Amino acid sequence: MFGYRVPAPDQAMLISGGRRGLSGSPFRVVTGHGTFVLQIFRKVRFLTLAMCEAEVAETCVTKQGIALTARAVIAFKVGNDTESIVNAGQRFLSDQDQMSVLTGRIFAGHLRSIIGSMTVEEIVTERQKLATEVLDTSKAEMAKIGLIVDSLQIQSIDDGDTGYIAAMSAPHLAAIRRQAQIAQAQATQASVEAEQQSARMQAEYARETAVVRARYSAEVDRAQAEAAQAGPLAQAHAQQEVLTAQTELAQRAAELRQQQLVAEVVKPAEAEAERIRVLARAEAERMKIQAEAAASYDRVALDRMLIDQLPQIVKEAAGGLAGANVNVLNGTDGLGEIAAGLVGQGMTILDSVRRGLGTPEGRVEQSGQQSGQQDELQDELQDGRREIEQDGGQDGGAAGLAVEGP
C-alpha cells in the first residue's frame, strides 16, 4: 500500500494525484531523491532527462535561388528546471520519442528560413554563423516545449547536379592544386637537396672515416715500428751513453795526466831553468866582480908603483932647489907652502900618468886593502913634506919665500 519510489539520475519522477505541485502544476516533480508514494491514491510516471538526438536533411533555396540540401544534427534534452520538466511532461510523457521528431521539424523550418537569407558562398564559408543563427531563432520555441539545445552541427551542404559549389571552388581548387604542385615541387627539390646533402654528408663521413682509419692505421704501424725498434734503440742509447761516459773518463784521465806531467816535468823543468838562470846570473855577477877586482888590482898595483916613486920624484924636485937662491919670506908657513906645492906637483904628475895609461875604473875586491894603500900614500906624502920642511928650516924663519934661478 505504501511504497518508496526513487527516480534514476537521468529521470524526473512525476507524481500525480493528491495535492498539486509547485506553481500550480498538475503533478509534483521529484528529481535526485526518493519519496513515499501511496499506490492507490497516487500515480507515478518517469520522464527522461537524458540527451537526445535529432537529424535533419532538408532541401533549402538560397538567396541566389540555388537549391541546396543541408544535413544537420541537433543534440537536445529536457531542461533540468521544474518548469521545463512540467512543459516537457505535459507534451511528451506519453510518447517521449516524439521529442526527436518535433525537434527535427522545428530545426528544419528554421534552417530553411536562415539559408534563404544567405548566399551559397556565405553558407559554405560560414557554417558556424548558420548554426548560430538557427540556434538563436529556435531557442525560444524550444524553451516553450521544455527542451534545450546543447549543440547544432551542419554536417554537409550539397547543391546536387548544379555544380555551383564545384564551380565556386574551382579557382580555389586550381590555386590549391597549383600550390600543391608548387609545394610538391618544393618538397621534391627539398627532398633532392636533402638526398644530395645526405650523400655529401655520407661522402664526408666516409672520407673522415677513411682518414681516421688511415691515421689510426698509421699510428698503429708507427707504434709497432717504435715497439720493434725499442730494443735496438735502447741498446744504441745505452752504448752511446757508455761511449759518452768513456769519452768523459778519457778526457778526465788526459786532464789528470796533463796535470801530472805539469807537476812532474814542467814545474821541475821550470824550477831547474830558473835555478840555472839564477846560477848563470850569479856566475856572471861573480865573473864581473872578478873582472872588476882584477882591474882594480891592476890599478892598485900601478898606484902602488907610483906611490913608491913619489918620494923620489919629490926629492928630485927638492934637489932642483938646492942650487937655487931661495928666500923664505914668512918663515915656517912659507916653507910648508913650498912643500905642499911640491906634493901637489907630484899628485898632478900622478894623475897625468894615470890618464896616459888609461886604467879603467872599477871596484876593489877588498875595500880594506884599497883603504890601506891610500893611507900608505898619504903617509909617504907627509914624509916628503917633513923632509922638505927640515931642509928649508935650516935657513931660519923669514916672513916669505923667494926663489931665484942660478
pLDDT digit string, tens, across residues 186-203? 888 888 988 898 899 889
- Give me the percent of the chain exceeding a pLDDT of 70: 70
Say if residue 22 is in the same domain as residue 86.
no
36 occurs within a structural domain: yes
Say if residue 103 is in the same domain as residue 15.
no
Among the residue ranges 237-241, 276-280, 349-353, the one predicted with the least confidence is 349-353
Reported as a pLDDT band with limits 50, 70 and 90, residue 75 is very high
Structurally, the chain folds into a number of domains equal to 2
Residue 349 confidence (pLDDT): 60
Question: What's the whole-model pTM score?
Answer: 0.40
Say if residue 96 is in the same domain as residue 137.
yes
> Is residue 373 a contact partner of residue 303, using CB atoms and an 8 Å limit?
yes
Reported as a pLDDT band with limits 50, 70 and 90, residue 73 is very high
Residue 398 confidence (pLDDT): 38
For residue 116, pLDDT over 80 is answered with yes
Pull the grid cell for residue 345: 906637483
Residue 405 confidence (pLDDT): 41
Reported as a pLDDT band with limits 50, 70 and 90, residue 20 is low
Nearest 10 degrees: CA dihedral of 111, 113, 119, 125? -30
Say if residue 70 is in the same domain as residue 157.
yes
- The edge-to-edge listing of strands for the beta sheet with 11-16 is 27-30, 11-16, 43-48
Listed in sequence order, the DSSP H helices in 262-366 are 267-320, 331-357
Reported as a pLDDT band with limits 50, 70 and 90, residue 167 is confident
39 occurs within a structural domain: yes
56 occurs within a structural domain: yes
148 occurs within a structural domain: yes
Give the DSSP H/E element, type plus range, for residue 123. helix 120-125
What angle separates helix 267-320 from helix 331-357, to the nearest 10 degrees? 130
Q: Which residues pair with 54 in a beta bridge?
A: 74
For residue 295, pLDDT over 80 is answered with no
119 occurs within a structural domain: yes
For residue 83, pLDDT over 70 is answered with yes
CATH number, domain containing residue 155: 3.30.479.30
Distance of alpha carbon 136 from alpha carbon 303, whole angstroms? 183
- Mean pLDDT of the chain, nearest integer: 76
Say if residue 42 is in the same domain as residue 117.
no
Domain span holding position 96: 51-162
For 395, list phi and psi in degrees, rounded to 5.
-95, 5
For residue 254, pLDDT over 80 is answered with yes
Among the residue ranges 9-13, 249-253, 342-346, the one predicted with the least confidence is 342-346
- Beta strands 52-61 and 43-48 are unpaired
Which of 118-122, 333-337, 365-369 has the highest mean predicted lDDT (pLDDT)? Answer: 118-122
Say if residue 71 is in the same domain as residue 94.
yes
Say if residue 158 is in the same domain as residue 55.
yes
For residue 391, pLDDT over 60 is answered with no
| Tally of CB atoms within 10 A around 292 | 16
Residue 395 confidence (pLDDT): 45
100 occurs within a structural domain: yes
How many whole angstroms from its chain centre is CA 289?
87
Residue 380 confidence (pLDDT): 54
As a whole number, mean pLDDT of residues 83-92 equals: 86
Reported as a pLDDT band with limits 50, 70 and 90, residue 226 is confident
Residue 28 confidence (pLDDT): 81
